[in-house]
Amino acid sequence: MTIRLGERGIRVVLLDIEGTTTPIAFVHEVLFAFARTHLQSYLDAHRDSGEVAEVRNRLAVEHAADVARGDAPPSWSIGTGDDAIRSIAAYASWLMDRDRKSPGLKLLQGLIWEEGYRACALSGEVYDDVPGAMRRWRETGVAVAVYSSGSVLAQRRLFESTPHGDLMPLVDRLFDTAVGAKVDPASYAAIARALARAPGEILFVSDVAAELVAARQAGMAVVLSVRMGNPPQAAAGEFEFIRSFDEIG
């Protein structure tokens, strides 16, 4: 055991997902691929829903901004007919190709994933050491929280549907970027306030050095997650690191 929570006065372990609890490949090769494959069929099946109307409204604003910038996105059709639905799908694919942080796309992906989880066509993935570590920490009175850029709903579905069973009973709180960006120290201060803990009582685990820097600036203890398949981090040497949650106890 490299990191002894008790000795360091840690009361909450705050976990990143992608590259920390879950392989980065799951997000890219399973989740993103699923959204892309089911884009057109989802939009066709739900074209008159309030959710798709909200997606369309958000994307229309983003599309106008792309046109104004001269980015030349695929053409946009107004309404709910076949042309309009095809144009939403084409623009969403265009945004995915560019890996855009688009609010409209994120909402649409979330809706597609939600349907996939509900139909059991999607299930969550975590590294084998994750469930046991969560149980071990909680048995010693240490809470488990999650902070990820995926929405709270998407996080919940992931942890509910793992091959190890429903892990949500082991998770005390979920945070997404509604609290702020993962590289902003203010986000970590807000999480500490929400958990009613001093930042120094929280250990943040992430595979991204820039996130650890932000959390450390807010006063949290930090540790770098080094998992197979994670891209190497510049300045990794300035952090303690773990290769498995078995090293945190």
- List residues binding Mg ion (CB under 5 A): 16, 18-19, 207
As measured in angstroms, the least distance from the Cβ of 229 to Mg ion is 11
> How far apart, in whole angstroms, are the C-alpha atoms of residue 75 and residue 73?
6
Between 125 and 207, CB nearer to Mg ion:
207
As measured in angstroms, the least distance from the Cβ of 79 to Mg ion is 39
Q: Which residues neighbour 121 within 8 Å (Cβ) at sequence distance 6 or greater? A: 34
As measured in angstroms, the least distance from the Cβ of 233 to Mg ion is 10
Residue nearest Mg ion, CB atom distance: 19
As measured in angstroms, the least distance from the Cβ of 214 to Mg ion is 13
Between 19 and 73, CB nearer to Mg ion:
19
Between 16 and 66, CB nearer to Mg ion:
16
Between 94 and 147, CB nearer to Mg ion:
147
As measured in angstroms, the least distance from the Cβ of 225 to Mg ion is 7
Q: Which residues neighbour 230 within 8 Å (Cβ) at sequence distance 6 or greater? A: 19, 24, 207
As measured in angstroms, the least distance from the Cβ of 85 to Mg ion is 34
Between 15 and 52, CB nearer to Mg ion:
15
Between 102 and 206, CB nearer to Mg ion:
206
